[in-house]
Structure 1
């Protein structure tokens, strides 16, 4: 049985029963034309493609009703109509058929992502996976991950002052992180060495989260063996690695050049320029994607539904990925124009998140 992706929307659209079958079909054609061409569509063109026989005058009457509902608008006088952001949200939530990936598409995604391998670091694996996802969706791919996902190799304490030490964390992939640690009064160098030995015997190959759990258990079992000051040094180290701080999050963006494809006008170029500026504001992007970690499925933000991308009019489709224990450890997805092919991108992001979870869970 094929599992379809679930997705959560931040805002409900107008009630579906407010539109009859004729209005829904006209609205659907307007949106699908926009997603395909980016251009407004008029009543005469709609009359040619609608499955029911309607005159352009009848279609214009329905379009007027749709405009009053806030679902479509006219970008210029006497022009055709485009969907509003509210209209796109309504379409995604109530009318769109989320296409399932074909077996060939699933195999392509799985082959591309699985070929990356796990011999490299978690960050390098995610970076390469985002490059592949960007190519599959023709949008910019993003991933939010925790620095705590790196696997540790070595730890060392370097005394700076009588009551402060520098903790040097070395990861298996060569990353080095320094943190200043407050020391209890009177800690001798021998206690720092003993703490280093105790930690190094237990952290190698583990993430910070795994190391914390292991060390808390080991501390409870070894209290009689460890000097009291050494215990305090280790406890202070554990406290400093509690995680959740914004500085422990990192953002990877790949495929921004895809956003320059298929530009229709100078307004599009300005929109993409604004989006590039938004992506440079990594702190805000991290905050936005962090909200998606609380959703169980694919999360979709359209245009001004998030303040960050309100000026560039961009959409974000993201899904959480998990570690080997099933815990959500990050979010991945794509950012692009509101003209994204939602029916295709949603299942692609959902499936990519599952494959990345499998890769990181090995």
Structure 2
């Protein structure tokens, strides 16, 4: 007679400890009765003993994701952490299903320009560390970068990923603003690329209210920054595919993406267009050009009806977030170098503040790029 033995896994006390910390904190914030918390912890312990892992409920997934935004040390926009919409896409099995879910995220977040914060969560990491789903893109929407005989065309930050896309069979038009495809990998198989329908990509042509900053260069930027290469960890469970978005602060575009020398490097062009004296650093031509470039970004997004926040308002919102957290008895952690805006930081209270840059879970974690 064949005897069937019940499958059991070595009990992971470390995983249970992380799960317990999350469940007690998260359910405490949600107002879950203590008896229900105890029952839930019993379920989790049994699952870990049986399978070596456990699954979050829909409510735990949603609140855990919002807590991760609240704990994001590099984000100045955390005041709105509890407004994030959570898409539970753990049922996706194929590249095509993941692709469709990502398109739904882009459409929902874009919302005709009235940007909505959102996160989409796919299958968590296996108990043995395997990754069911991985999104290769740094952001779901980003521009390609090409090395040419005449220098780099497009976004230099995208060079390696653009090359990886081309090796997979994608071919862009070779302009400064080619939208890259979505690259999805399932269960370690060869990744597949999918185009983003142009009608889903809202872009804002950039103009200045009173000057021609760009000449013949047709500057523009996309409306929604959807970070897609970070993992989300909740209660010891790691989600390697968890794209999320808020909305832009103008300096992200005007003082970094378009201004950095290792990105689009438009400051010299803007300075020439403004007729500034570029003979010496002491004329502060870089500062003046940087300011007007940010004016153009704010002006253009508002003219187009696309959500954006200026860095002074964002700092005021962060101060409100700090007060709310203090009221709820939580310490605000942060990375000072990321929280200060790259334009006129000393004019905000953040510059004169200090924060402990420690990791608090749930949280977002950097991952190694699979194509590098």
Structure 2-normalised TM-score? 0.24
Structure label with greater radius of gyration: 1
User: 1 or 2, which has the higher helix percentage?
Assistant: 1
